[in-house]
Structure 1
């Protein structure tokens, strides 16, 4: 009997998308002796372990103790040594390798299932790719290098991350010390550039891209960088939160033409209104063509209100976007921005897929761990979009682990063939076996 049979699906998918071989080529210089563990295989095993719900390097034992299912898996000391040698140039190589594997995975999706999924907002499809950038605090309960007091008066790290809303893939992430600013322009530029590098060239230069962020991403330097990317023939637009300053408050008071807001299904929402306030205040420093939309709604119990909100009796939020007029109503544009909240679910599940706790006292090792956690998140996303249907194609990692990844089976060998016999009465046996069959039918990368 073997367990965690569904995790074998993740390991095989890493092979089929070329991720394992790409990691192996990127880390070829780290192989210490002939016959030793391939560094690319070790990194993939770590990513699979994290995707499977592991929390520490010691959890590699789940894979290692089942060699008939997972093959030879490196020891904990070997994994530690490898992580300790992954410096920034090597991480850059791994990012490039992950981008190559992503291109293959997307090509396989195009061959077998058509275009990538399109996000839905208020009952309407958002065309193109939607990137969400957000930061989060990861608590550390021991002294770790670069772990510091955070703006929330806790202690730990403050990573900045970018997810693709279309598929849930983790495109980029930077581990930062706890006191790193929420609105640091340089960090946002770094994460966005790394995320764009993950998108295949043919898609990056021919597909509309929407970048969403909260008010931390509304610094004028970051927005100027986004605008400069158009000079590189990228059709990229932004939708970011904007601070409510005194001139903005005056514009809100002077605004007319309020119309009902819409909810997630596209229906009119009671006690919520939107209005455009572009031109009602001085927008110096914002990129030319920036529009400002404001949403007001009656506060719900427990809402945190500013003094302005308390006086007006409404809770206000302002969105800045350079989407030109004629590309959707202000109701849709405002609802499109509010869908940025989905990134909070990506971060929540990502913390259960590796970056919720870091294993080492050394910052460089923890940065490498973050990269492998993002790789594990990608493997789960590719599994959903390439191999699964129905509810499972949209399931969070916890549900996938409970229903598919942690399944037990009987492993038998007959006529030189190895077979996995999964209990026929397990409710998701058909889903798992179908996923293995789809995996076998995916087009293989050339070479």
Structure 2
């Protein structure tokens, strides 16, 4: 058996090594989008300290978010990575305090400009590869638990840590492309439906002319007559979970149910809730509760059944209506990814305005990664989380060398996803923005 080395010398002299070798692909895509130039063009504002341009400071926020580095403090890892600086064109890297101060300055002056740029790129990307004729929007809200003293931190609905202050952002995603479409950061005591109609107005304003059909999916937090009336005024279809009020409970106990082979039972009825202008179609799905079930039921239970009620103006059968609504589960996975792989749950400052700026920067970064996956990577990569994408493509050992006066990035010879890497390079080269 071969012996292990005894006289191995260790030095810390490597200046052209990185474990972000796959960053080359992401940088090539962002360069194709002309992102840095667009950021400087759209977000220009006066700064007393001009060591870093607006575009450079924005890129210094976007890269660690996209690479899944977590809190702003961890960005110092990139400050000493020469290959990262070479690939990104950031010869120096701002420290965490500089980035926080930038967020605070940016919020009142440049955040509206960032959102305008985001909308411009969103419209350009949704038209690729072909203009859509149908869009499904999934609405949701989530709780961001806060620690410390942050502005606008309020005590509201908090299922995990009752009594702790939080933020309660409202979010809308494209259920087909998984793109973030619109959202707002709100205090923790904001009701789920607060601001929904205003958000929907912005959502519809962003739609390209090719879209002829819009469908909205939402949970019971959005069960509100003003929301539904607005959707009908826009001739949109909707599937929204209904609140089980007393009259609805009495209705579902008197219905005749159709039994399906899956064990589900379905029914439907017409009903006009109080203050609503007309009656709507309600779909009921119920399931027999197993006698030995130890699971905590999330649906309303009555007798030996658990129930879910959905209000809709779609003409699907009750069972297919329920199945279509269940497709909304994807948005919950996206939010889980944003909290786990992206630092959505890690609030960077004590100032609400700066936190709002970071919130929108993070969601802009999420969309950049989503567009990169959808437009540049093989199909099997499209639904990967950022964590999986990092482990397979972005976190590759790399060495930057110069041969014949030409810089060369050396990647592992036995790299498992070499074909996907080369496929992405060709797709990016042929991409038209």
TM bucket normalised to smaller: 0.7 to 0.9
**2:420 aligned residue:** 431
CA contact 2:285–2:319 (8 Å) conserved in 1: no
Partners of 1:433 and 1:57 lie apart in 2 by 32
- Cα 1:305–1:68 change in 2 (3 A) is closer
**1:368 aligned residue:** 357
- Cα 1:240–1:416 change in 2 (3 A) is farther
Partners of 2:114 and 2:169 lie apart in 1 by 19
Q: Does 1:177 align with 2:193?
A: no
Alpha-carbon distance, 1:62 to partner: 3.8
**2:151 aligned residue:** 145
- Cα 1:409–1:188 change in 2 (3 A) is same
**1:265 aligned residue:** none
Partners of 2:197 and 2:78 lie apart in 1 by 38
5+ residue gaps, structure 2, are 1-16
Q: Does 1:42 align with 2:57?
A: yes
2:36 to 6, 13, 20: 20
**1:75 aligned residue:** 94
CA contact 1:409–1:422 (8 Å) conserved in 2: yes
Partners of 1:100 and 1:384 lie apart in 2 by 19
Partners of 2:411 and 2:205 lie apart in 1 by 40
2:213 to 184, 208, 211: 208
Q: Does 1:238 align with 2:229?
A: no
CA contact 2:299–2:308 (8 Å) conserved in 1: no
Q: Does 1:129 align with 2:135?
A: yes
The ranges of structure 1 where at least 4 consecutive aligned residues each deviate by more than 6 angstroms after the TM superposition are: none
Partners of 2:406 and 2:277 lie apart in 1 by 63
**1:95 aligned residue:** 115
Partners of 2:62 and 2:114 lie apart in 1 by 12
**1:295 aligned residue:** 285
Q: Does 1:191 align with 2:209?
A: no
SS in 2 for 1:5: coil
Alpha-carbon distance, 1:198 to partner: 4.4
Name the TM-score, length of structure 2 as normaliser.
0.85
- Cα 1:48–1:189 change in 2 (3 A) is farther
SS in 2 for 1:354: coil
Partners of 1:238 and 1:21 lie apart in 2 by 40
Partners of 2:228 and 2:221 lie apart in 1 by 11
Partners of 1:287 and 1:356 lie apart in 2 by 40
CA contact 2:216–2:236 (8 Å) conserved in 1: yes
Alpha-carbon distance, 1:50 to partner: 0.6
Bigger Rg, which one: 2
Q: Does 1:273 align with 2:261?
A: no
Partners of 1:437 and 1:31 lie apart in 2 by 39
SS in 1 for 2:382: helix
SS in 1 for 2:61: helix
Alpha-carbon distance, 1:22 to partner: 2.8
Alpha-carbon distance, 1:97 to partner: 0.3
**1:331 aligned residue:** 319
- Cα 1:333–1:142 change in 2 (3 A) is same
5+ residue gaps, structure 1, are 117-126, 261-267
Q: Does 1:4 align with 2:20?
A: yes
CA RMSD of aligned residues (A): 2.5
Alpha-carbon distance, 1:216 to partner: 0.7
Q: Does 1:227 align with 2:232?
A: yes
Q: Does 1:354 align with 2:343?
A: yes
**1:51 aligned residue:** 66
Alpha-carbon distance, 1:346 to partner: 0.6
SS in 2 for 1:173: strand
Partners of 2:391 and 2:204 lie apart in 1 by 33
Partners of 1:286 and 1:335 lie apart in 2 by 26
CA contact 1:19–1:97 (8 Å) conserved in 2: no
**Deviation string for 1:282-306 (max 9, x for gaps)?**
3354465732111101236344459
Partners of 2:277 and 2:60 lie apart in 1 by 45
Name the TM-score, length of structure 1 as normaliser.
0.83
* Match runs of 1:377-396 below 5 Å: 377-396=366-385
Alpha-carbon distance, 1:11 to partner: 3.4
Q: How many residues align?
A: 405
1:106 to 126, 138, 153: 126
SS in 1 for 2:111: helix
Partners of 1:175 and 1:242 lie apart in 2 by 25
**Deviation string for 1:99-143 (max 9, x for gaps)?**
111233334x32xxx466xxxxxxxxxx82111111111112222
Alpha-carbon distance, 1:308 to partner: 7.1
SS in 1 for 2:209: helix
